Structures are given as C-alpha cells and as structure tokens.
Amino acid sequence: MTSNETPAERRARIRLFILLGLAALAGSATILLLEFRRDWLEAWLLDNADLLLEYPTRSALLLLIPGLPVLLASVSLWRLGQRCCREKRFPPSDTLMLRQRAEVNGRAAILRGRMLQSMALLIGLACFGLPLMLALSLYRIAGGA
C-alpha cells in the first residue's frame, strides 16, 4: 500500500485483480476444454449442421455465447460514457479509481464520454462477427450456396 492510497482504493485494486484472475482462469479453462474436445465438437457440428439450420433462433443464441463477455463489456463501457456526458465530468462520480487522476470537466469530459460510447458501439458490433462467421460456416457445411 502506497503512502497516499486509501483503503477504498486498495479494496478496488484487490477486487480488480481477483476479477481479472477469475476471467483469465475461466477463459483458459474454456480454451483447454474446447481444444481437448475439438475432434468430438467438429464431428458433432458436421453431423448436425442441418439440425442447427432447422432451428435458426436456438442456433443464433448458441452462437452468441462466445461473444457474450465482449457484449457485456461493451454495455458497461457505453454506460460509463453516458455517465460522463450526463455529469459533464470524467471520471464520473462514484467511480472507483486505482490511482488518483486529474478531473476533466465540461466539453472535454463530454468528448471523452462520446469517445467511450463510440468505442462501446464498435466493440458491440465486433462481438457479432464471430457468430456471423460461425453461422456462415454452418450454412456452407449444410450444403448452402
């Protein structure tokens, strides 16, 4: 703990490291599981491509699962940008900061909020790229154009 670090900042830092550690562990476990079961998964997809295309809504929801964490991050970033624009302050009040930063007010804070919202929009749109590619691959496997 540094000399001017408050207990709230320390708790925020610890919480951040725990969250990042759990996310990294979950991501690594998912990758290892999918890599371990890769042959079975590929065979199942090839055998059931017609079934997946028969139920497009369920298939679309299934294909959105890999992009869900990215979509949630995008929503969180959008809300942060919204708060910056509404309060005309960056960082917004009640935001836990790991280090003390200079506060930006007025037009500059609104500009930062709009930039955060723009990034959130791009990230949100990008998270639909993987499901779209998977859906096109399944369509081609099933004998589509």
pLDDT in tens, 39-77: 888 888 778 777 777 887 787 777 778 778 888 889 999
The parent domain of residue 100 ranges over 37-141
- Model pTM? 0.67
pLDDT at position 2, please? 54
Task: Note whether 50 and 56 are within 8 A (CB).
Answer: no
The amino acid at 1 = M
Instruction: Give a yes or no: residue 24 inside a domain.
Output: no
- Structure token pair of residue 98: 């790991």
Instruction: Give a yes or no: residue 26 inside a domain.
Output: no
Instruction: Give a yes or no: residue 19 inside a domain.
Output: no
> Residue 55 burial by CB count (10 A; 0-12/13-18/19+): exposed, middle or buried?
exposed
How many domains is the chain partitioned into structurally? Answer: 1
Instruction: Give a yes or no: residue 100 inside a domain.
Output: yes
Work out the average pLDDT over 90-102: 78
Q: For a pLDDT cut of 70, what percent of the chain falls above it?
A: 94
Least confident of 1-5, 130-134, 138-142: 1-5
Residue 142: pLDDT band with limits 50, 70, 90: low
Q: Compare 100 and 119 and report the one with higher pLDDT.
A: 119
pLDDT at position 95, please? 79
Task: Note whether 116 and 122 are within 8 A (CB).
Answer: no
Highest mean pLDDT pick, 10-14, 19-23, 81-85:
81-85
Instruction: Give a yes or no: residue 6 inside a domain.
Output: no
Instruction: Give a yes or no: residue 125 inside a domain.
Output: yes
